[in-house]
């Protein structure tokens, strides 16, 4: 039992938070590319992504796993994004710092999605049963390059007019 839920129910909640974080993160990223703050969607992205990382620490394990390291890095990036957006109001260099932190947090969520897809989707697992297989590495490399490219484009184009 975790937080009064069965492990299965808790896992479903964790996955749902992750998927909402990814979907809203993609909406936020699209807004950044159009130089728009996505308002409430941004808050949902930040909250669900924070909760995704935080709930990852509640699974019963006996040692620190790579997923915990990713979770810590994600929480640091999200703290920076929240501070840049809500405390510094994207003033000066906080604008690009926010973009970098938000896009990086989204990337980490997608990185984990790819890991889970190769572990759980039979067709993907068949072509790359371990995380050292070339297909897995190539997929993660494509995702990384795509997010670097999108992040650079977003940082260059995001110049919102804030109230």
Furthest-apart CA atoms within the chain: distance in Å:
52
162 vs 157: CA distance, rounded Å = 15
22 vs 112: CA distance, rounded Å = 11
pLDDT tens digits, residue range 5-48?
Answer: 899 999 999 999 999 999 999 999 999 999 988 889 999 999 99
- Residue ranges in 34-121 assigned as alpha helix (H): 40-56, 66-82, 94-120
Whole-angstrom Cα Rg for the chain:
17
pTM metric for this prediction: 0.94
Percent of the chain with pLDDT over 90: 88
> Which pLDDT belongs to residue 163?
45
> Which pLDDT belongs to residue 162?
57
Mean pLDDT across the stretch 81-90? 96
Q: In terms of C-beta distances under 8 Å and separation of at least 24 residues, what long-range contacts does 34-41 make, across chains too?
A: 34/157, 35/157, 35/158, 35/159, 35/160, 36/160, 37/160, 37/162
Mean pLDDT across the stretch 94-99? 96
What letter would DSSP give residue 93? T
Alpha carbon 82 to chain centroid distance?
14
> Which pLDDT belongs to residue 39?
85
Burial of 45 (0-12, 13-18, 19+ CB in 10 A): buried
Residues 6+ apart with CB under 8 A from 53: 71, 72, 74, 75, 78
Mean pLDDT across the stretch 54-62? 92
CB 151 within 8 A of CB 100: yes
pLDDT tens digits, residue range 41-56?
Answer: 999 999 999 999 999 9
CB 96 within 8 A of CB 156: no
Domain spans, the chain: 7-157
């Amino acid at each position: 039992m975790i937080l009064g839920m069965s492990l299965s129910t808790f896992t479903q909640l964790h996955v749902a938070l992750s998927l909402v974080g990814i979907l809203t993160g993609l909406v936020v990223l699209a807004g950044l590319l159009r130089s728009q703050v996505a308002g409430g969607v941004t808050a949902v992205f930040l909250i669900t992504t924070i909760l995704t990382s935080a709930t990852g620490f509640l699974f019963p394990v006996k040692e620190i796993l790579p997923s915990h390291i990713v979770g810590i890095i994600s929480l640091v990036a999200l703290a920076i994004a929240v501070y840049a957006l809500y405390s510094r109001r994207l003033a000066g260099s906080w604008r690009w710092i926010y973009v970098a932190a938000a896009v990086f947090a989204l990337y980490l969520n997608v990185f984990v999605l790819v890991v889970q897809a190769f572990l759980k989707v039979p067709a993907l697992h068949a072509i790359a049963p371990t995380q050292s297989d070339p297909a897995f590495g190539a997929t993660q490399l494509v995702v990384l390059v795509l997010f670097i490219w999108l992040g650079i484009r977003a940082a260059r184009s995001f110049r919102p007019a804030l109230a």
